[in-house]
Amino acid sequence: MLSSIDFLSDDFTLKALETDQIDEDSSIEDEEILLTDKVIVSTYPSDETNSLLFYVYSSEYFYPHHEVSYPSLFFDCKVLEDNFVAVSSLSKDVLVFDPKIKNLDTFTYSLKGHQSNVLCLDYTDSLISGSEDKSIIFWDNLKIKERIQTNDEIVKLSVCNKLIAYLSNDKLVLRSNEEILKEIKLKEIEDIKLTPTKLFYSQGEGNLFVLDLVNYTQSSFKIHNEVINTIDFYNDWIVTGSEDKTVKVFDWVNNKLIRSFKVSDSVTKLKMNEGVCFYGGEDTELSYLNFKNACLKENQ
């Protein structure tokens, strides 16, 4: 199952991967990453193996580049300023991997500060982690910049400016660094996204909710027939991926479906980048939809 997606910086290039093992199936030419390439990293937790898989995308090609396996269940990943990849997993430490090394049998370094499993990550100006130990840590490189102790296990996390939204079991909490601002009790909340003025969250019956952060009024929209697992933004629209094997582009301001894309598998995670929607599911690896080449003007 694909559980998270992120992107290395646009200036990332590579001549050849570093390794202490000989791989007769690859060549230096195959490993080269050009300045015109986009590099995507995704996590695949499973019972058999857990891996970071790096893909290369351009207007002319899309292919898996290399894989990093590690014996811990991966939940989330975020790319840091130096293009190292931070991962949350069944570990009390945030594990950090070097994308330029293949056949890696351990992480490059770790961030220590939590007392129980790190379940989720976010990244604004710096890395933020949430844990089963009921704390949220803001990191400054290798050091703890700020720790916020809560009353809840932090399952999912979204941070914007000085606001924090987190999911804990059947409760969604909006807070500042100092105090709780709003609690929403609703079962089967799947994904959350925080903006400066709105909190978006999806729910198990195919509904999208939008909470206005000025007056705390709430709107709801029935978009899918089954669970909305994942949400992101494209221009002023919301993009949703669901168990019903569709990716949809929805104009929530005018309550209008812009476009629905049928895909081959339930969508567990999606993320937008420069008009391209990268997504994956329970059984499929990373795929993409190029919205720039699709007609997204009318309901189809």
Provide the CATH number for the domain around residue 197.
2.130.10.10
On whether residue 287 sits in a domain, the answer given is: yes
Q: Cα separations (Å) of 172 from 89, 132, 246?
A: 21, 15, 25
Q: What is the pLDDT of residues 45-64, one digit of tens each?
A: 876 668 899 999 999 999 99
The amino acid present at 161, given as its one-letter code, is N
Task: Give the total number of structural domains in the chain.
Answer: 2
Q: In terms of residue numbers, what domain contains 42?
A: 1-112
Q: What is the pLDDT of residues 276-287, one digit of tens each?
A: 999 999 887 899
- Kindly state the tokens that stand for 197: 């003025």
In terms of Cβ atoms closer than 10 Å to its own Cβ (0-12, 13-18, 19+), residue 21 is exposed
The amino acid present at 81, given as its one-letter code, is E
List the pLDDT tens digit at each of the 300 positions of the chain. Answer: 899 999 999 999 999 888 645 454 544 447 899 999 999 999 988 766 688 999 999 999 999 999 888 888 899 999 999 999 999 999 999 999 999 987 667 899 999 999 999 999 999 999 999 999 999 999 998 999 999 999 999 999 999 999 999 999 889 999 999 999 999 998 889 999 999 999 999 988 899 999 999 999 999 999 999 999 999 999 999 999 999 999 999 999 999 999 999 999 999 999 999 999 999 998 878 999 999 887 565 433
On whether residue 130 sits in a domain, the answer given is: no
- Kindly state the tokens that stand for 106: 């351990």
Whether 206 and 107 map to the same domain: the answer is: no
Q: Cα separations (Å) of 259 from 71, 231, 248, 255, 275?
A: 40, 15, 6, 13, 14
Domain finish residue from 96, 112, 128: 112
Whether 100 and 200 map to the same domain: the answer is: no
d(CA 202, CA 210): 9
On whether residue 3 sits in a domain, the answer given is: yes
d(CA 119, CA 88): 6
Domain finish residue from 56, 82, 112: 112
d(CA 30, CA 21): 16
* 3-class DSSP state of 291: helix
Whether 106 and 196 map to the same domain: the answer is: no
Domain finish residue from 112, 134, 152: 112
> Residue written as tokens 């939809």?
289
